[in-house]
């Protein structure tokens, strides 16, 4: 770390001294830590006692234009920890810095890529099993997550982002006024259809890259149960019961076979606190897929427009998830049908623009 990072480095060293009475030997930025404005750095500590390393989570900077800021990591992390859910241990920190347990670099997404079918199914079953546990938690009073929700306003924001950044990439040109309106109307139809759904606590970004394998169990990955730890909890909110399962099973970074996806979802569906009927569950699953993956598709293009095109390789598959969901639910509402027609069939010609600015 050099230049302007020197001040941050000294701050981190001081925080570690205050929290643990230890000295920092080295500070290493974590590569590929995410799409947002947060920074993550691995702190290597002097001495032989545990812990040997920490991860500093630095929550500074502004979110993307038009995107509401999220609450801090605490007290959501502590709330989950108190209820026995697997989250990183916190060792201390400051107003916008958290010194967290270093869980290593093995994520569910990374493990799944090279796993046998049997191990992959076991990993995803473990991940799915966290969803009903999270949904059973109740507001202790004052926790920001229970005041935030997937509502019509948030769905309108997703529509605006997709129309501005994703749709031009789909069309290969600037979107016309009536095409932007088609997106807005379809997302409004989704909001209306979801309005009567029960609201349960959701991680909100419950995907394979945000589920890490705790190093103490990593060696058992080929033969026994592996503990998955949830990170990136600050965005938690209330949403229909299917929301986190959409994030996990329709992950932009991991493509599950449709049969495997359905098997995992059907295994956990009766265990959800609301135990939705299959037809209701799958309808909401598709509708959430439509708006969530459209937002993700837009995000990849937004980030590319800001100079980081690495994530564009995930955009075509993400767009196909949107297309598939729109086609499956086209008969539910003519507004969704018009969006399906605008986007084209799944697997159709790749996007027209490398990125939308």
Are 40 and 58 found together in one domain? yes
350 in a structural domain: no
Per-residue pLDDT, 66: 67
Per-residue pLDDT, 67: 73
266 in a structural domain: yes
Check which CATH number belongs to the domain holding 242 and give it. 3.90.1200.10
Are 132 and 278 found together in one domain? yes
Per-residue pLDDT, 216: 54
Per-residue pLDDT, 113: 87
Q: 44 is in which domain, residue-wise?
A: 5-101
CB of 58 closer than 8 Å to CB of 97? yes
Give the Å distances, CA to CA, from 51 to 1, 23, 85, 181, 193. 22, 12, 21, 54, 49
pTM of the entire predicted model: 0.92
Are 193 and 335 found together in one domain? yes
Are 75 and 169 found together in one domain? no
Check which CATH number belongs to the domain holding 43 and give it. 3.30.200
What sign does the dihedral 310-308-296-323 (CA atoms) show? negative
Are 89 and 150 found together in one domain? no
Of the three residues 73, 101, 129, the one that is the final residue of a domain is: 101
CB of 329 closer than 8 Å to CB of 287? yes
Q: What is the DSSP letter of 149?
A: B
Of the three residues 101, 122, 152, the one that is the final residue of a domain is: 101
Are 83 and 198 found together in one domain? no
Are 265 and 339 found together in one domain? yes
Q: What is the mean pLDDT for each group of 10 consecutive residues in the chain (357 residues)?
A: 75 97 96 75 96 96 74 96 98 95 94 91 97 97 96 98 97 98 98 97 97 68 72 97 98 95 98 98 98 98 94 97 98 98 82 42
Per-residue pLDDT, 25: 98
Are 220 and 332 found together in one domain? yes
Are 58 and 195 found together in one domain? no
Are 202 and 322 found together in one domain? yes
Are 268 and 323 found together in one domain? yes
Distance CA 221, CA 219 (A): 5
Are 85 and 127 found together in one domain? no
CB of 24 closer than 8 Å to CB of 15? no
Structurally, the chain folds into a number of domains equal to 2
């Amino acid at each position: 770390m050099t230049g302007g990072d020197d001040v941050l480095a000294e701050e981190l060293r001081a925080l570690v001294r205050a929290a643990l009475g230890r000295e920092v030997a080295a500070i290493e930025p974590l590569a590929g830590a995410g799409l947002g404005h947060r920074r993550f750095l691995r702190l290597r500590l002097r001495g032989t006692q545990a812990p040997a390393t920490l991860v500093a989570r630095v929550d500074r900077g502004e979110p993307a234009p038009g995107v509401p800021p999220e609450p801090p990591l605490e007290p959501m992390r502590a709330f989950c920890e108190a209820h026995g859910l697997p989250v990183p241990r916190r060792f201390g920190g400051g107003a916008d810095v958290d010194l967290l347990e270093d869980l290593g670099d093995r994520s569910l997404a990374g493990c799944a890529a090279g796993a046998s079918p049997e191990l992959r199914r076991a990993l995803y079953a473990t991940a799915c099993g966290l969803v009903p546990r999270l949904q059973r938690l109740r507001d202790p009073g004052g926790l920001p997550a229970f005041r935030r929700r997937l509502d019509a306003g948030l769905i309108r924001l997703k529509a605006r982002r997709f129309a501005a950044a994703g749709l031009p990439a789909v069309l290969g040109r600037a979107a016309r006024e009536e095409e932007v309106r088609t997106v807005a109307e379809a997302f409004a139809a989704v909001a209306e259809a979801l309005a009567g759904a029960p609201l349960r606590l959701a991680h909100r970004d419950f995907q394979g890259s945000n589920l890490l394998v705790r190093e103490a169990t990593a060696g058992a990955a080929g033969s026994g149960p592996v503990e998955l730890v949830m990170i990136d909890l600050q965005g938690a909110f209330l949403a229909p019961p299917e929301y986190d399962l959409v994030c996990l099973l329709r992950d932009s970074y991991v493509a599950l076979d449709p049969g495997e996806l359905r098997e995992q979802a059907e295994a956990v569906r009766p265990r959800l606190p609301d135990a939705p009927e299959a037809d209701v569950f799958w309808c909401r699953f598709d509708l959430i897929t439509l708006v969530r993956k459209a937002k993700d598709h837009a995000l990849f293009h937004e980030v590319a427009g800001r100079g980081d095109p690495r994530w564009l390789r995930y955009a075509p598959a993400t767009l196909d998830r949107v297309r598939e969901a729109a086609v499956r639910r086209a008969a539910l509402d003519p507004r969704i049908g018009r969006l399906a027609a605008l986007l084209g069939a799944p697997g159709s010609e790749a996007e027209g623009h490398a990125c939308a600015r």
